[in-house]
Amino acid sequence: MIGETDIYKFVQQMPGVAITGEGSGSLHVRGGEANENIILLDNSLIYEPNHILGLISVFDSDYISEATLLKNGVSAAYGGKLSSLLKLTSKVSNFKKPNFKLGIGFISSKIFTDIPIIKNKLSLMFNARKSNINYLLSGAKIFTDKINQNNELDFYDINSKIEFKSDKWNSFISVYYGNDLLKLSNTVDLEWGNQNINYKTIYKNKKHEISFQAGYSMFYFQLKIADNDKNLSWKCGINDFHSKIYFKQNLKHTTFNVGLDVSYKNINPTQNEPINSRSIFKPIELQKYKTLEVSPYVDLNYYFNQKISIKLGIRVPNYCQLGNYTEFFYKDNKTLLSPEIIDSIKYENNEIFNKILKFEPRITITYLLNNKITFNASYNRNYQFINQIITSITPLPISFWMPTTRYFEPSYSDKFSVGLNYIFSNTLSFNSDIFLNLRNNLLDFIDNSDIFLNKNFITQIRTGTGKSFGIETSFSKKIGRLTGSVSYTLSKSTRLTDDINQG
């Protein structure tokens, strides 16, 4: 994209994946929404995968070694989203000799280095990228006065990883920091970005594997408008503290994996403040949400013989909200703009309420007909307790996060898939999948809703259903001087929500 190698843009071209327009950074998998995908960078959750409103992604190809998109048959070790799992893995550290790379491009300039600190034991990887767009704008301003002198468009990101390895232990700490800035004249100022830090350690031998990881993921967004007396600062964001521990046992015909996934989130849906005393806007801060999700899971892979295998999984998400929070009760939850509050309950700090227990069964069956033909079938149930409310095609800036409350049940999906893989030769293969996705309790706002300066915006949320089905086909050539793929998807997606577009 515009001279930048972007692995995320390649994922957008895969079968079953749709985008909303040219240059868009959204990822719609098999009829799902952009916020329904688990996007992991070295096991750390990325909430906003795009720079400069979707033109390029936050994933620098110099740092990333591979990306894997799973649309069905996802392990019970992963949950919290409805549509898919996208795992991006950084390059393997070089423990023997230093590696250095410098690049200057049209859109950005970047530097990459990989340095062994203790040979064969400890290594440091560092990658940084900075936008060149402001320099291009400055040059263009010399030749024309049609570009406002105060316009700015900038981004940068930093990746680093320190990794330790021994015969049986492997540990790393990875950090990501990214930021975007957009200024239009002296009137509009937008800034957003991701911050991530993650630690993971693995002990592995021939029969056992034990792993522990803990991390922090954060996304923030701020919009400032300075237009005489129409000035305000609008903020939203989400902070996510997560950890996971698992034990894996390899037996003769079975692989057994049991683990515990914990996530604590602090959500700031909307905070409006006037920039100065002349502003016509009053300060409004919606209640912050705190949620806790504890999810034990079990995965079992059993191989009946060399041809047939079955993968069974169960994930049991335990979700709750935490105080400090005041829950309001309305006379009419369907009131559009001015709901009448008839009662309320005050929950003290870290007091548990709105407890929800769900079960997510997973099953995948694989049949190897011969060395060339493989059939597979799968079913997944997924729940999503945190939704990103998007009121425009572009996820930024008109969006914020909303957890499951007493007013609506968590979103969930039932995903069915049947597939065929045919290997013509060592270099050429064919793949086809037929899928059906049924989605329920999908959140949306009513027509003509008022959400940004309204403390009772929750009464304007409605839930609906969605259905998508179709067929995906692709031919791939992954080895040789010429590589690539050709794919085609034929699908249909529908969505029905009461009180929106007359249902």
Distance CA 321, CA 290 (A): 6
| Residue 111 is assigned to a structural domain of this protein | yes
| Residue 176 is assigned to a structural domain of this protein | yes
| Residue 1 is assigned to a structural domain of this protein | no
**What is the average per-residue pLDDT within 433-441?**
96
3-state secondary structure of 257: strand
Phi, psi of 415 (to 5 degrees): -115, 125
| Residue 2 is assigned to a structural domain of this protein | no
Say whether pLDDT at 397 is over 80.
no
| Residue 502 is assigned to a structural domain of this protein | no
Per residue in 150-172, pLDDT (tens digit) is: 778 899 999 999 999 988 899 99
**Cβ-contact 81, 319 below 8 angstroms:** no
Residues spanned by the domain of 475? 7-497
| Residue 480 is assigned to a structural domain of this protein | yes
| Residue 454 is assigned to a structural domain of this protein | yes
Output the CA–CA distances (angstroms, integers) from residue 453 to 24, 273, 376, 415, in the order listed.
28, 10, 50, 37
**Cβ-contact 433, 472 below 8 angstroms:** yes
Work out the mean pLDDT of the chain and round it to a whole number: 88
**Cβ-contact 48, 97 below 8 angstroms:** no
Distance CA 396, CA 151 (A): 18
Say whether pLDDT at 327 is over 50.
yes
At 357, the pLDDT band (50, 70, 90 cuts) reads very high
| Residue 278 is assigned to a structural domain of this protein | yes
- Its pTM stands at 0.92
Nearest-CA neighbor of 386 among 61, 81, 62? 81
> How many independent structural domains does the chain possess?
1
Per residue in 102-147, pLDDT (tens digit) is: 988 888 899 999 999 998 899 999 999 999 887 777 766 666 666 6
Q: Is the N-terminal amide bond of 49 cis, ω within 30° of 0? A: no
130: CATH: 2.40.170.20
